[in-house]
Amino acid sequence: MTETFGAEFLVRWLAAVAGAVDREADRLTELDSAIGDADHGANLRRGFAAVTEILAKEPPATPGAALATAGRQLISTVGGASGPLYGTLLRRTGKTLGDDGLISRAQLAEALSSGVSAVSRLGGAQVGDKTMLDALVPAVEGLRVSFAAARAAAEEGALATVPLRARKGRASYLGERSVGHQDPGATSSALLFAALDETARGEGPAGSGAEGVA
């Protein structure tokens, strides 16, 4: 039997992301101060707080609607590169999910793959360029196996950015000086999948895990 979950699970996931970003905002900003504009944590904190607020005011009917709404809110709320990139990720994922009231983990993985491809096209980056894609791409592949595998892959991908030289974004201007620093975008991407795993295990805000999801 394929185990499924609905919009409420996605809403709790995004609330868990907002909580994780709030807790880790200072660390994200510290990482960004080394190789970026020192605003990554503050921008994401503001953006995901706005996402939580709009989803509470306008409860989505479907998983796709939850992510599409979140994506639009991030694009309209967050400045810099992170708003358009994360907004594109979630909006495209939501659009790919369509109007299904219940989805499976496999469907979410497939939809996120579309979202990640959209992020790659928007930023012109690939795995190995020291960006959020270094966490997102392996995480989506891990999600095809399990929520825990997605989390582990994302965290490993973020750590793997430390020895890389940045080839895209503000950090690329530093050249060799970008080596030795963990990418803030990959780090925040890992937070998304940690929150997803916690939500699936019933550790997210306000409620138990997904409806029978594994």
Dist CA 45 CA 51 (whole Å): 10
Dist CA 181 CA 161 (whole Å): 7
Dist CA 210 CA 6 (whole Å): 8
| CB environment 56-69: b (16+ within 10 A), e (fewer) | eeeebebbbbbbbb
> How many C-beta neighbours within 10 Å does residue 79 have?
13
Q: Give residue 163's pLDDT.
A: 76
Q: How confident is the model at residue 207 (pLDDT cuts 50, 70, 90)?
A: very low
**Residue among 122, 92, 131 at smallest CA distance from 108:** 92
Ranges 20-24, 112-116, 198-202, 205-209: which has the least confidence = 205-209
What is the DSSP-derived secondary structure letter of residue 172? G
Average pLDDT over residues 178-193: 88
Q: Give residue 205's pLDDT.
A: 59
Dist CA 85 CA 71 (whole Å): 9
Average pLDDT over residues 176-200: 88
Q: What is the pTM of this model?
A: 0.90
Instruction: Kindly report the average pLDDT of the chain as a whole number.
Output: 88
Q: Which long-range contacts (CB under 8 A, 24 or more apart) does 158-164 make?
A: 158/134, 158/182, 158/183, 158/186, 158/187, 158/189, 158/190, 160/134, 161/130, 161/131, 161/134, 161/135, 161/186, 164/128, 164/129, 164/130, 164/134
